[in-house]
A = this chain, B = another copy of it.
């Protein structure tokens, strides 16, 4: 094991990426979840996305959720946007950190937005300029970075060249999305190595899914390589509802549980976070896949049996 970081910044994505992939819940419930998360000590939250309500009805009330949320000092909130229109809405709502997505897989990108990866990249430069012009930071999330369900492996050099491009266009950070859980320790190492050979300076964030059980092994590998920013979703919110039980997003409490055990600070109160995961189950009415939610942290003991 290499030298581990002292501190890791978890970005909680349950309110956006999580809820976007669950059955819709009421606005009140979304505000409750967001507010509860803001009080866990987490340092970053992806709060909403500004997408067309026909495309993603789960986020139709993004403006209202964000206006009603109680923003906590010290928490950095961000929004995801698909295009210029979304970016304008995010800026109008006061966001100063915005994420945009492009897929490393051409096929996946075409399926999502009906254009090639290159065509999407052509649009990004303008979008980044728009954000910078309003003093907002722009993060580019590169989906299918660890593999594409249609194309299979994605050459890390292709992903690295996309990083080159978006860095040139002004991106402040890149995130690598393991969209369908194809990431493994080997793929994490290969991708980070390829990216850093060409762009050692750009801050990177990793977004893992636990589809095949590898999320924490992937995180461990990334920690060894010095990565200190990760997405995670409270309770594991966001598991594809059409495949019950199939894990989606890495559960925040599983990530925090392992990090804290390693002595790595996250700022998060794990017990408080587990209570929010319980709330997330209540609000979605769905049994969430998080093991730490189910079993509690390893420090939670079973009462001694009476003799």
Contact = CB atoms under 8 A, between A and B. Distances in A.
Interface of A: 1, 107, 111, 147, 149-152, 180-182, 184-187, 189, 210-217, 219-221, 224, 243, 245-247, 251, 254, 257-258, 261-263, 287, 289-292, 294-295, 297-299, 301-302, 304-305
A257 B183 CA distance: 11
Contacts of A251: 213
Given A150-B302, A152-B301, A251-B213, A184 B295 contact: no
Contacts of A211: 291, 294-295
Given A150-B302, A186-B262, A291-B247, A215 B212 contact: no
Contact of A295 (B187, B212, B258, B302): B212
A298 B182 contact: yes
Secondary structure class of chain A's binding surface, majority of residues = loop
Contacts of A263: 186
12 contacts: A1-B185, A147-B298, A150-B305, A152-B299, A187-B261, A212-B298, A213-B257, A214-B254, A216-B217, A220-B220, A243-B295, A246-B291
A276 B65 CA distance: 47
B258 A184 contact: yes
A152 B301 CA distance: 6
List the 7 closest A-B pairs by CB distance, nearest first: A213-B254, A216-B217, A182-B298, A149-B302, A217-B217, A184-B261, A213-B291
A192 to B, nearest CB: 12
B184 A298 contact: yes
A299 B299 CA distance: 37
B291 A210 contact: yes
Contacts of A295: 180-181, 211-212, 243, 246
Contacts of A245: 245, 287, 289, 294
